[in-house]
């Protein structure tokens, strides 16, 4: 089987590239090799590669900046998936498209099922939802996999930001009234590669690590686990605040927990509790730091 990853330099794309199963030949591309907003460029690359499956991990993820860069957000998150889907249609390639919990408005009080109505609150969520629609309209039987609160040891994400702030500050304030499910890119990548191999899967899936947390809960866990891994030198007080006390350009969903029960079963990968996944991720950073010390870097 031949796979093509688009958005290969992002945190998910990087993780997917590092976890390619031995039975799959894979090429991973990102800017400048390919610009997903350029329909002709996408058509040319996909036409040359003729992959059995395309994994679209490309995305504009700057949630607040999207409110000011509307055209760019829609170009990457909506037009990009349309270009990829049309190219996949021409080559008969299967398409796996990665989306987000931000397609929901956060007014629910129980986890969102894949078939729940979408009602995004801001430009980021709107552009990602339009990308889903474009994929569903353009290609037969795609896989759309929504995830939430993604983090890894790569790129820019909440965990790495918290680790940096814990080294720079004596205390941190974090929003406590937004609830979701933190998800390690490694567990998501495992699920995606399982979907690749299980060629009969199609439709919309939800994937997040098990359990729920507020951003405050998440930050407290990062502090405790980072201290246990010797990534920070002392406990850092984390203070809960409300969303109103931390205004941003976009309105974020107050509750964006995804119901992943059916997806966990159909994909066939056992879920990991989010704090266990966080510990494993921080241990990879600890191991990397130890390796740098051993090599003198």
Give catalytic residue positions: 124
Q: Are 84 and 36 in contact (CB under 8 A)?
A: yes
Tokens for 164, please give them. 């940096």
Q: Are 122 and 129 in contact (CB under 8 A)?
A: no
Helix (H/G/I), strand (E/B), else coil: 42: helix
- Whole-number CA gyration radius for the chain: 19
**Can you count the helices (H) and strands (E) in the chain?**
10, 12
Tokens for 176, please give them. 């406590």
- β-strand partners of 143: 96, 203
Q: Are 41 and 35 in contact (CB under 8 A)?
A: yes
Q: Residue holding tokens 């610009």?
A: 35
Nearest-angstrom CA–CA distance, 56 and 89:
14
Give yes or no for a cis peptide into 121 (omega within 30° of 0).
no
Nearest-angstrom CA–CA distance, 163 and 43:
40
98-136: string of b/e by CB count within 10 Å (b at 16+)?
A: bbbbbbbbbebeebbebebebebbbbbbbbbbbbbebbb
Nearest-angstrom CA–CA distance, 226 and 24:
35
Tokens for 280, please give them. 């494993």
């Amino acid at each position: 089987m031949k796979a093509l990853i688009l958005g290969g330099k992002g945190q998910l794309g990087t993780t997917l590239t590092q976890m390619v199963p031995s039975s799959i030949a894979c090429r991973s591309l990102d800017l400048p090799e390919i610009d997903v907003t350029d329909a002709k460029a996408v058509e040319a690359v996909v036409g040359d590669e003729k992959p059995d499956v395309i994994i679209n991990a490309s995305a504009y993820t700057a949630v607040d900046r999207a409110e000011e860069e509307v055209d760019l957000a829609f170009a990457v998150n909506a037009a990009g998936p349309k270009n990829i889907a049309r190219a996949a249609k021409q080559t008969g390639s299967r398409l796996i498209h990665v989306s987000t919990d931000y397609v929901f408005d956060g007014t629910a009080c129980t986890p969102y099922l894949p078939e729940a109505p979408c009602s995004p609150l801001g430009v980021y969520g709107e552009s990602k939802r339009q990308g889903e629609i474009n994929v569903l309209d353009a290609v037969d039987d795609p896989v759309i996999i929504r995830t939430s609160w993604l983090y890894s040891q790569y790129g820019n994400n909440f965990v790495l930001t918290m680790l940096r702030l814990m080294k720079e500050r004596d205390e941190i304030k974090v929003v406590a009234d937004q609830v979701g499910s933190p998800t390690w890119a490694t567990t998501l990548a495992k699920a995606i590669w399982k979907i690749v191999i299980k060629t009969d899967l199609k439709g919309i899936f939800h994937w997040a690590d098990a359990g729920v947390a507020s951003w405050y809960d998440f930050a407290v866990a990062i502090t405790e686990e980072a201290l246990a891994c010797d990534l920070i030198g002392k406990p850092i007080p984390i203070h809960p605040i409300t969303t109103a006390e931390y205004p941003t350009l976009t309105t974020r969903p107050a509750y964006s927990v995804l119901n992943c029960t059916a997806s966990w079963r159909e994909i066939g990968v056992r879920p990991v509790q989010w704090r266990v996944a966080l510990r494993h991720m921080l241990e990879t950073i600890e191991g990397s730091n130890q390796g740098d010390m051993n090599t003198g870097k």
